[in-house]
Structure 1
Amino acid sequence: MTDNATKNAVVQFTQQYTEQFEQAHGHLPVAEKDAQWPSPCEAGDKDNEYCFWTPKPIADDINFDNVEQALELSFHQDIKDYFLSVYSEDIHASHSEGRLSLLFAWNQDDFDRLQQNIIGHILMKRKLKQAETVFFAVTDQEDMILSVLNSTGEVWVEQVGKEPHKKIADSLAEFMAQLTPYVDTWD
Protein backbone atom coordinates (compact mmCIF):
# COMPACT_ATOMS: atom_id res chain seq x y z
CA MET A 1 0.00 0.00 0.00
CA THR A 2 1.12 3.56 -0.63
CA ASP A 3 1.91 5.97 2.18
CA ASN A 4 -1.54 7.59 1.96
CA ALA A 5 -3.52 4.45 1.12
CA THR A 6 -5.73 4.69 4.21
CA LYS A 7 -6.40 8.41 3.88
CA ASN A 8 -7.16 7.99 0.17
CA ALA A 9 -9.48 5.04 0.89
CA VAL A 10 -11.37 7.03 3.52
CA VAL A 11 -11.75 10.09 1.31
CA GLN A 12 -12.85 7.95 -1.64
CA PHE A 13 -15.38 5.99 0.43
CA THR A 14 -16.88 9.07 2.11
CA GLN A 15 -17.27 10.72 -1.30
CA GLN A 16 -18.86 7.53 -2.66
CA TYR A 17 -21.27 7.46 0.30
CA THR A 18 -22.24 11.10 -0.21
CA GLU A 19 -22.78 10.63 -3.96
CA GLN A 20 -24.89 7.49 -3.46
CA PHE A 21 -26.90 9.16 -0.70
CA GLU A 22 -27.59 12.12 -2.99
CA GLN A 23 -28.64 9.79 -5.83
CA ALA A 24 -30.96 7.81 -3.53
CA HIS A 25 -32.53 10.75 -1.69
CA GLY A 26 -32.09 13.74 -4.00
CA HIS A 27 -30.03 15.69 -1.47
CA LEU A 28 -26.90 15.50 0.67
CA PRO A 29 -27.01 13.55 3.96
CA VAL A 30 -28.78 15.30 6.82
CA ALA A 31 -27.80 15.96 10.45
CA GLU A 32 -29.57 17.66 13.32
CA LYS A 33 -28.66 21.33 13.62
CA ASP A 34 -26.98 22.38 16.85
CA ALA A 35 -25.71 25.94 17.25
CA GLN A 36 -23.45 24.73 20.08
CA TRP A 37 -21.93 22.00 17.90
CA PRO A 38 -21.10 23.56 14.49
CA SER A 39 -19.09 21.63 11.93
CA PRO A 40 -17.10 22.45 8.80
CA CYS A 41 -19.21 19.64 7.26
CA GLU A 42 -22.41 21.68 7.31
CA ALA A 43 -23.56 22.45 3.77
CA GLY A 44 -26.69 24.55 4.25
CA ASP A 45 -30.01 24.25 6.03
CA LYS A 46 -32.57 21.61 5.11
CA ASP A 47 -35.12 23.23 7.44
CA ASN A 48 -35.26 24.69 10.96
CA GLU A 49 -34.10 21.46 12.61
CA TYR A 50 -31.73 19.84 10.12
CA CYS A 51 -28.78 20.77 7.95
CA PHE A 52 -27.19 19.08 4.97
CA TRP A 53 -23.62 17.88 5.41
CA THR A 54 -20.71 16.54 3.42
CA PRO A 55 -17.30 15.24 4.62
CA LYS A 56 -14.58 17.90 4.78
CA PRO A 57 -10.78 17.50 4.97
CA ILE A 58 -9.15 17.96 8.38
CA ALA A 59 -6.44 20.61 8.67
CA ASP A 60 -2.86 19.36 8.69
CA ASP A 61 -2.15 20.90 12.11
CA ILE A 62 -4.46 18.46 13.93
CA ASN A 63 -2.72 15.34 15.23
CA PHE A 64 -2.50 12.70 17.94
CA ASP A 65 0.83 13.87 19.41
CA ASN A 66 -0.66 14.76 22.80
CA VAL A 67 -2.42 11.39 23.12
CA GLU A 68 0.65 9.45 22.03
CA GLN A 69 2.77 11.32 24.58
CA ALA A 70 0.21 10.81 27.36
CA LEU A 71 -0.01 7.07 26.64
CA GLU A 72 3.72 6.70 25.83
CA LEU A 73 2.58 4.93 22.68
CA SER A 74 2.90 5.51 18.96
CA PHE A 75 -0.30 4.84 17.07
CA HIS A 76 -0.12 2.81 13.90
CA GLN A 77 -0.01 5.21 10.95
CA ASP A 78 -3.30 3.79 9.58
CA ILE A 79 -5.11 4.90 12.76
CA LYS A 80 -3.80 8.43 12.39
CA ASP A 81 -4.53 8.53 8.65
CA TYR A 82 -8.09 7.30 9.21
CA PHE A 83 -9.09 9.77 11.92
CA LEU A 84 -7.15 12.70 10.42
CA SER A 85 -8.61 12.38 6.92
CA VAL A 86 -12.07 13.99 7.18
CA TYR A 87 -14.56 15.59 9.51
CA SER A 88 -17.81 13.74 9.01
CA GLU A 89 -20.98 12.49 10.59
CA ASP A 90 -20.90 8.72 11.18
CA ILE A 91 -21.15 6.90 7.85
CA HIS A 92 -23.23 3.76 7.44
CA ALA A 93 -21.83 0.88 5.40
CA SER A 94 -22.32 -2.78 4.60
CA HIS A 95 -19.59 -5.41 4.81
CA SER A 96 -19.70 -9.17 4.31
CA GLU A 97 -19.76 -9.36 8.14
CA GLY A 98 -22.85 -7.12 8.39
CA ARG A 99 -23.82 -3.47 8.72
CA LEU A 100 -21.67 -0.95 10.53
CA SER A 101 -21.18 2.73 11.19
CA LEU A 102 -17.77 4.28 10.58
CA LEU A 103 -16.90 6.74 13.33
CA PHE A 104 -15.49 10.16 12.53
CA ALA A 105 -15.11 13.50 14.29
CA TRP A 106 -17.80 16.09 13.44
CA ASN A 107 -15.67 19.06 14.51
CA GLN A 108 -12.58 19.94 16.58
CA ASP A 109 -14.42 19.47 19.90
CA ASP A 110 -15.61 16.06 18.74
CA PHE A 111 -12.03 15.18 17.77
CA ASP A 112 -10.95 16.10 21.32
CA ARG A 113 -13.72 13.88 22.70
CA LEU A 114 -12.67 11.07 20.36
CA GLN A 115 -9.12 11.33 21.69
CA GLN A 116 -10.42 11.02 25.27
CA ASN A 117 -12.43 7.93 24.31
CA ILE A 118 -9.38 6.37 22.65
CA ILE A 119 -7.31 7.05 25.79
CA GLY A 120 -9.99 5.38 27.91
CA HIS A 121 -10.10 2.40 25.54
CA ILE A 122 -6.30 1.96 25.58
CA LEU A 123 -6.18 2.23 29.40
CA MET A 124 -8.95 -0.39 29.67
CA LYS A 125 -7.00 -2.71 27.32
CA ARG A 126 -3.87 -2.24 29.44
CA LYS A 127 -5.74 -2.91 32.67
CA LEU A 128 -7.15 -6.11 31.17
CA LYS A 129 -3.67 -7.02 29.85
CA GLN A 130 -5.03 -7.23 26.30
CA ALA A 131 -3.57 -6.20 22.97
CA GLU A 132 -3.87 -2.47 22.36
CA THR A 133 -6.52 -1.65 19.77
CA VAL A 134 -8.18 1.52 18.56
CA PHE A 135 -11.87 1.34 17.61
CA PHE A 136 -13.11 3.04 14.44
CA ALA A 137 -16.56 1.54 13.82
CA VAL A 138 -19.55 0.07 15.59
CA THR A 139 -21.51 -2.87 14.23
CA ASP A 140 -25.17 -3.80 14.24
CA GLN A 141 -24.32 -6.51 16.79
CA GLU A 142 -24.51 -5.39 20.40
CA ASP A 143 -21.12 -4.77 22.05
CA MET A 144 -19.18 -5.60 18.86
CA ILE A 145 -16.79 -3.01 17.48
CA LEU A 146 -14.26 -2.90 14.70
CA SER A 147 -10.78 -1.93 15.71
CA VAL A 148 -7.24 -1.68 14.46
CA LEU A 149 -4.63 -3.75 16.24
CA ASN A 150 -2.08 -1.05 16.98
CA SER A 151 0.95 -3.33 16.66
CA THR A 152 0.11 -4.49 13.11
CA GLY A 153 -2.56 -2.26 11.58
CA GLU A 154 -4.85 -5.25 11.02
CA VAL A 155 -8.62 -4.76 11.28
CA TRP A 156 -10.38 -6.97 13.82
CA VAL A 157 -13.82 -7.55 15.27
CA GLU A 158 -13.80 -7.35 19.04
CA GLN A 159 -16.38 -7.51 21.76
CA VAL A 160 -16.05 -4.54 24.10
CA GLY A 161 -13.76 -5.55 26.98
CA LYS A 162 -12.49 -8.68 25.23
CA GLU A 163 -9.54 -9.57 23.02
CA PRO A 164 -10.05 -9.08 19.27
CA HIS A 165 -11.42 -12.38 17.97
CA LYS A 166 -11.82 -12.21 14.20
CA LYS A 167 -9.42 -10.62 11.72
CA ILE A 168 -11.25 -9.19 8.71
CA ALA A 169 -8.52 -7.25 6.86
CA ASP A 170 -4.76 -6.77 6.86
CA SER A 171 -5.12 -2.97 6.80
CA LEU A 172 -7.67 -0.19 7.02
CA ALA A 173 -7.25 0.58 3.30
CA GLU A 174 -8.01 -3.06 2.46
CA PHE A 175 -11.02 -2.98 4.79
CA MET A 176 -12.38 0.25 3.29
CA ALA A 177 -12.22 -1.34 -0.17
CA GLN A 178 -14.52 -4.13 1.09
CA LEU A 179 -17.29 -1.70 2.10
CA THR A 180 -20.44 -0.65 0.32
CA PRO A 181 -22.22 2.58 1.33
CA TYR A 182 -25.51 1.89 3.10
CA VAL A 183 -27.88 4.73 2.26
CA ASP A 184 -31.26 2.98 2.11
CA THR A 185 -32.85 3.92 5.41
CA TRP A 186 -31.39 7.31 6.29
CA ASP A 187 -33.12 10.45 5.15
Structure 2
Amino acid sequence: MPNPSITPIPRDALPADLQPLHDTGVERTGDATIIGVMAHQPDILRWYFGEFYDGLFYNKHPGMTVDVRSKELLRLKLSKQHGCQFCNRFNTVEALAAGITQAQVDAIYDPESPVWDAKDRAVIALAEEMMLQNMEGHLSPALHARLWAHYSEAQIIELGFIAAVLTGVAKWIFTFDMVNREEICPIQRPALAAE
Protein backbone atom coordinates (compact mmCIF):
# COMPACT_ATOMS: atom_id res chain seq x y z
CA MET A 1 0.00 0.00 0.00
CA PRO A 2 1.13 3.56 -0.54
CA ASN A 3 2.68 5.14 2.54
CA PRO A 4 3.23 8.81 1.72
CA SER A 5 4.93 11.17 4.16
CA ILE A 6 2.27 13.71 3.22
CA THR A 7 -1.04 12.63 4.75
CA PRO A 8 -3.78 12.33 2.12
CA ILE A 9 -6.75 14.62 2.55
CA PRO A 10 -9.84 12.45 3.19
CA ARG A 11 -12.47 12.37 0.48
CA ASP A 12 -15.07 14.26 2.51
CA ALA A 13 -12.59 17.08 3.20
CA LEU A 14 -11.78 17.56 -0.49
CA PRO A 15 -13.28 20.49 -2.41
CA ALA A 16 -16.54 19.35 -4.03
CA ASP A 17 -15.07 19.48 -7.56
CA LEU A 18 -12.25 17.08 -6.59
CA GLN A 19 -14.40 14.44 -4.90
CA PRO A 20 -15.38 12.82 -8.23
CA LEU A 21 -11.65 12.33 -9.01
CA HIS A 22 -11.28 10.51 -5.70
CA ASP A 23 -14.36 8.39 -6.42
CA THR A 24 -13.11 7.44 -9.89
CA GLY A 25 -9.73 6.46 -8.44
CA VAL A 26 -11.37 4.17 -5.90
CA GLU A 27 -13.82 2.75 -8.44
CA ARG A 28 -11.16 1.88 -11.04
CA THR A 29 -8.17 1.02 -8.89
CA GLY A 30 -9.32 0.48 -5.30
CA ASP A 31 -7.15 3.34 -4.01
CA ALA A 32 -7.15 7.13 -4.30
CA THR A 33 -4.14 8.02 -2.16
CA ILE A 34 -2.67 9.96 -5.08
CA ILE A 35 -5.74 12.23 -5.23
CA GLY A 36 -5.71 12.85 -1.48
CA VAL A 37 -2.02 13.78 -1.49
CA MET A 38 -2.19 15.92 -4.63
CA ALA A 39 -5.20 17.76 -3.17
CA HIS A 40 -2.86 19.61 -0.81
CA GLN A 41 -2.13 21.68 -3.92
CA PRO A 42 -5.56 21.64 -5.58
CA ASP A 43 -4.55 23.93 -8.44
CA ILE A 44 -1.93 21.41 -9.59
CA LEU A 45 -4.46 18.57 -9.29
CA ARG A 46 -6.97 20.59 -11.33
CA TRP A 47 -4.32 21.48 -13.92
CA TYR A 48 -3.19 17.88 -14.30
CA PHE A 49 -6.64 16.43 -14.84
CA GLY A 50 -8.13 19.49 -16.54
CA GLU A 51 -5.49 21.21 -18.62
CA PHE A 52 -3.11 18.31 -19.20
CA TYR A 53 -5.54 15.44 -19.58
CA ASP A 54 -8.64 17.18 -20.93
CA GLY A 55 -6.75 19.81 -22.91
CA LEU A 56 -3.60 18.12 -24.20
CA PHE A 57 -4.23 14.39 -23.89
CA TYR A 58 -7.91 14.27 -24.89
CA ASN A 59 -7.56 17.06 -27.48
CA LYS A 60 -9.91 19.69 -26.05
CA HIS A 61 -7.17 22.21 -26.80
CA PRO A 62 -7.60 22.97 -30.51
CA GLY A 63 -3.89 22.65 -31.29
CA MET A 64 -3.70 19.02 -30.23
CA THR A 65 -4.07 16.75 -33.26
CA VAL A 66 -2.70 13.31 -32.37
CA ASP A 67 -5.52 10.78 -32.22
CA VAL A 68 -6.46 9.76 -28.68
CA ARG A 69 -5.92 6.05 -29.42
CA SER A 70 -2.24 6.73 -30.16
CA LYS A 71 -1.92 8.66 -26.90
CA GLU A 72 -3.64 5.87 -24.98
CA LEU A 73 -1.23 3.34 -26.46
CA LEU A 74 1.73 5.54 -25.52
CA ARG A 75 0.43 5.99 -21.96
CA LEU A 76 -0.36 2.30 -21.53
CA LYS A 77 3.09 1.23 -22.72
CA LEU A 78 4.77 3.73 -20.39
CA SER A 79 2.75 2.66 -17.37
CA LYS A 80 3.16 -1.05 -18.07
CA GLN A 81 6.93 -0.41 -18.12
CA HIS A 82 7.07 1.61 -14.88
CA GLY A 83 4.65 -0.54 -12.90
CA CYS A 84 2.29 1.91 -11.21
CA GLN A 85 -0.71 -0.21 -10.23
CA PHE A 86 -3.05 2.82 -10.12
CA CYS A 87 -1.88 3.88 -13.58
CA ASN A 88 -2.11 0.42 -15.12
CA ARG A 89 -5.62 -0.27 -13.88
CA PHE A 90 -6.83 3.18 -14.91
CA ASN A 91 -4.99 3.24 -18.23
CA THR A 92 -6.21 -0.20 -19.28
CA VAL A 93 -9.84 0.90 -18.94
CA GLU A 94 -9.15 4.06 -20.97
CA ALA A 95 -7.12 2.21 -23.61
CA LEU A 96 -9.91 -0.30 -24.20
CA ALA A 97 -12.43 2.55 -24.46
CA ALA A 98 -10.21 4.24 -27.08
CA GLY A 99 -10.17 1.18 -29.35
CA ILE A 100 -7.13 -0.75 -28.18
CA THR A 101 -8.16 -4.39 -27.99
CA GLN A 102 -7.65 -6.77 -25.09
CA ALA A 103 -5.31 -8.79 -27.32
CA GLN A 104 -3.20 -5.64 -27.78
CA VAL A 105 -3.20 -4.92 -24.04
CA ASP A 106 -2.00 -8.49 -23.52
CA ALA A 107 0.76 -8.03 -26.15
CA ILE A 108 2.04 -4.67 -24.85
CA TYR A 109 5.47 -6.17 -24.09
CA ASP A 110 5.75 -7.72 -27.57
CA PRO A 111 5.98 -4.98 -30.23
CA GLU A 112 6.52 -7.61 -32.93
CA SER A 113 3.18 -9.29 -32.23
CA PRO A 114 0.88 -9.44 -35.27
CA VAL A 115 -1.75 -7.48 -33.31
CA TRP A 116 0.25 -4.29 -33.97
CA ASP A 117 0.52 -2.33 -37.20
CA ALA A 118 3.47 -0.12 -38.19
CA LYS A 119 1.91 2.99 -36.63
CA ASP A 120 1.39 1.25 -33.29
CA ARG A 121 4.91 -0.18 -33.37
CA ALA A 122 6.33 3.33 -33.88
CA VAL A 123 4.41 4.63 -30.84
CA ILE A 124 5.57 1.66 -28.75
CA ALA A 125 9.17 2.30 -29.84
CA LEU A 126 8.88 5.96 -28.79
CA ALA A 127 7.52 4.88 -25.41
CA GLU A 128 10.50 2.55 -24.99
CA GLU A 129 12.85 5.49 -25.58
CA MET A 130 10.94 7.72 -23.14
CA MET A 131 10.40 5.21 -20.31
CA LEU A 132 11.91 5.75 -16.86
CA GLN A 133 14.37 2.87 -17.18
CA ASN A 134 15.95 4.15 -20.41
CA MET A 135 18.56 6.70 -19.40
CA GLU A 136 19.92 6.70 -22.95
CA GLY A 137 16.60 7.30 -24.72
CA HIS A 138 17.04 8.88 -28.13
CA LEU A 139 14.82 9.94 -31.01
CA SER A 140 17.11 8.44 -33.63
CA PRO A 141 16.75 9.25 -37.32
CA ALA A 142 15.36 5.74 -37.84
CA LEU A 143 12.69 6.15 -35.14
CA HIS A 144 11.89 9.64 -36.41
CA ALA A 145 11.32 8.21 -39.90
CA ARG A 146 9.05 5.49 -38.49
CA LEU A 147 6.97 8.09 -36.65
CA TRP A 148 7.00 10.56 -39.55
CA ALA A 149 5.36 7.95 -41.78
CA HIS A 150 2.23 8.39 -39.61
CA TYR A 151 2.55 11.73 -37.80
CA SER A 152 3.53 15.30 -38.69
CA GLU A 153 6.52 16.92 -36.99
CA ALA A 154 4.10 18.79 -34.70
CA GLN A 155 2.42 15.53 -33.78
CA ILE A 156 5.76 13.88 -33.01
CA ILE A 157 6.49 16.79 -30.65
CA GLU A 158 3.03 16.35 -29.15
CA LEU A 159 3.62 12.64 -28.51
CA GLY A 160 7.05 13.33 -27.02
CA PHE A 161 5.74 16.03 -24.69
CA ILE A 162 2.84 13.84 -23.53
CA ALA A 163 5.34 11.05 -22.80
CA ALA A 164 7.63 13.48 -20.95
CA VAL A 165 4.86 14.70 -18.64
CA LEU A 166 3.65 11.16 -17.97
CA THR A 167 7.17 9.90 -17.26
CA GLY A 168 7.96 12.84 -14.99
CA VAL A 169 4.73 12.40 -13.07
CA ALA A 170 5.48 8.69 -12.69
CA LYS A 171 8.84 9.49 -11.08
CA TRP A 172 7.13 11.98 -8.78
CA ILE A 173 4.32 9.65 -7.65
CA PHE A 174 6.81 6.89 -6.86
CA THR A 175 9.18 9.26 -5.03
CA PHE A 176 6.28 10.64 -2.97
CA ASP A 177 4.95 7.07 -2.42
CA MET A 178 1.42 7.85 -3.59
CA VAL A 179 0.67 4.62 -5.50
CA ASN A 180 1.00 0.87 -5.22
CA ARG A 181 3.96 -0.50 -7.15
CA GLU A 182 3.92 -3.64 -9.22
CA GLU A 183 6.90 -5.99 -9.12
CA ILE A 184 8.35 -4.54 -12.33
CA CYS A 185 8.55 -1.02 -10.88
CA PRO A 186 12.13 0.26 -11.34
CA ILE A 187 11.80 2.66 -8.39
CA GLN A 188 11.63 0.59 -5.25
CA ARG A 189 10.84 1.88 -1.80
CA PRO A 190 13.88 2.34 0.44
CA ALA A 191 14.33 -0.34 3.08
CA LEU A 192 12.41 0.47 6.25
CA ALA A 193 15.63 0.40 8.27
CA ALA A 194 16.99 3.24 6.14
CA GLU A 195 14.00 5.44 6.95
Q: TM-score, normalised by structure 1?
A: 0.31
Higher-RCO chain (CA-CA 8 Å, sequence separation at least 6) = 2
Q: Which has more strand, going by share of residues?
A: 1
Q: Which has more helix, going by share of residues?
A: 2
Q: TM-score, normalised by structure 2?
A: 0.30
Larger Rg: 2
